[in-house]
Amino acid sequence: MNHTRKFISDRVNAVPPSGIRKFFDMVIGMDDVISLGVGEPDFVTPWHIREACIYSLEKGFTSYTSNAGLLELREAVSDSFHRDYGVNYDPETQVLVTTGVSEAADLALRAVVNPGDEVIVHEPSYVSYKPGIVFSGGTPVIVSTIRENEFRLTGAQLEDAVTPKTKAIILSYPNNPTGAVMGKRDLEEVADVAVEHDLLVISDEVYDKLTYNGKHTCFSSLNGMDERTILLNGLSKSHAMTGLRVGYAMGSPDIISAMLLIHQYTMLCAPITSQMGAIEALNKGDSEMQAMVREYNRRRRLFVTGLNELGLDCFEPRGAFYAFPSVQSTGMTSSQFAEGLLNQQKVAVVPGDVFGESGAGFLRCSYASSLEELKTALERMEEFLG
């Protein structure tokens, strides 16, 4: 059926399939695999949230909601960001509920990018940003963050990447796949460049709650940044709600209404069942969330210590649930290591270069797995390194 290929648009053809796919196909059909390749919590959504979803179905909440999302949810979102970071977003005009953060990122790009506009993305980072920029007609400009700087983005790097065509910067901390975080000072460097060159910052902070031994700084809380920021967040990671698909975007009324325009003609609204669960999560989910965060933190310490003991150099990841060890000492490439480890010891990790060229020589290992699995994985890795 190859003759149908000609119908595919150039824009889509220009985007290669995700390198993750190949690993996924390898793992399928293998028994007894311990997978550290999963980019989502191993916890099931807390029961009180699932119960709120079920209850909403029982009561017959199965219709569309307003395009921007249930007002009660937008109010809960606005309140939680005010409480956590002191930022102010009007639930009526500055908050948009989306079908996961992925949709919010897509809307943000499509709302602001003109053909030929450049958007700066730091890598290694989540796999969707670059294709998202291409789909919206823009040109991705990659800035590679490095291990020596704990995969933080610097003002100087940004400065080098800016051209007259630059429209926006995508910022994603705490970071998938590296587990890196950016402190207030680090973020201020980004803010300075944004002001200097009049750029917009799309800040995906979906891992904000998973910050260890320190406090997350919300980018739009920086002086003068609220106007310049499209803040993206959601409940997937903090409340283990990945499959329920609830995210939100916050920003200036102009930008949010531009995003809403696309959203209303494409997605219409986020699923109402999930929105009802999200209200419950935001209003009553703190203690279960904190228990999960404490648990991740313990696994993080155990796992990162374990990796370093194996000689796989790993800086201390202070966010998300990923460790990003280097395999340089083994003489193998990321893919050789990951394939060997999977075939010989049945432990699945993701080669770092899936997340950008600068991830070459590293592995993404998710520690969102039980302690038992993490310990077994470390033992098997030790065997593999023999």
Binding other proteins (rule: CB under 8 A), the pick from 74, 167, 299, 318 is 299
DSSP-based three-state secondary structure for 302: helix
Q: Are 242 and 49 in contact (CB under 8 A)?
A: no
By CB under 8 A, the residues from 340 to 379 that bind other proteins are 348, 350, 371
Burial of 365 (0-12, 13-18, 19+ CB in 10 A): buried
- 305 lies in the site for other proteins, by CB under 8 A: yes
- 28 lies in the site for other proteins, by CB under 8 A: yes
CB nearer other proteins, residue 127 or residue 153: 127
Binding other proteins (rule: CB under 8 A), the pick from 71, 258, 302, 385 is 302
In the complex, the smallest distance separating the C-beta of residue 131 from other proteins, rounded to whole angstroms, is 11
Fill in the per-residue mask, 146 to 185: x = in contact with other proteins (CB under 8 A), - = not in contact: ------------------------------x---------
Give the long-range contacts of residues 145-153, CB within 8 A, separation 24 or more: 145/178, 145/180, 145/358, 146/358, 147/315, 147/326, 147/362, 150/180, 150/315, 151/124, 151/175, 151/178, 151/180, 151/315, 151/324, 152/180, 152/181, 152/182, 152/186, 153/122, 153/182, 153/186, 153/190
- 135 lies in the site for other proteins, by CB under 8 A: no
Tracing tokens 């098997």 back to the chain, one arrives at: 380
Instruction: Provide φ and ψ at 28, rounded to 5°.
Output: -55, 130
Q: Does residue 124 have a cis peptide bond before it, meaning omega lies within 30 degrees of 0?
A: yes
CB nearer other proteins, residue 35 or residue 136: 35
- CA separation for the pair 316, 322 (Å, rounded): 10
- 27 lies in the site for other proteins, by CB under 8 A: yes
CB nearer other proteins, residue 40 or residue 75: 40
- CA separation for the pair 154, 188 (Å, rounded): 10
Token code pair at residue 158: 């940004």
In the complex, the smallest distance separating the C-beta of residue 349 from other proteins, rounded to whole angstroms, is 9
Could you please report the per-residue DSSP string of 251-288? --HHHHHHHHHHHHHHT-S--HHHHHHHHHHHHH-HHH
- 128 lies in the site for other proteins, by CB under 8 A: yes
In the complex, the smallest distance separating the C-beta of residue 328 from other proteins, rounded to whole angstroms, is 23
Binding other proteins (rule: CB under 8 A), the pick from 50, 147, 197, 301 is 301
- 293 lies in the site for other proteins, by CB under 8 A: no
CB nearer other proteins, residue 147 or residue 301: 301
By CB under 8 A, the residues from 58 to 87 that bind other proteins are none
In the complex, the smallest distance separating the C-beta of residue 195 from other proteins, rounded to whole angstroms, is 32
Q: Are 27 and 33 in contact (CB under 8 A)?
A: yes
In the complex, the smallest distance separating the C-beta of residue 246 from other proteins, rounded to whole angstroms, is 17
Segment interacting with other proteins, rule: CB under 8 A, options 32-40, 55-63, 148-156, 197-205 = 32-40
- 40 lies in the site for other proteins, by CB under 8 A: yes
Burial of 289 (0-12, 13-18, 19+ CB in 10 A): buried
Tell me which residues touch other proteins (CB under 8 A): 18, 20, 23-24, 27-28, 33, 35, 37-40, 42, 126-128, 176, 294, 298-299, 301-302, 305-306, 348, 350, 371
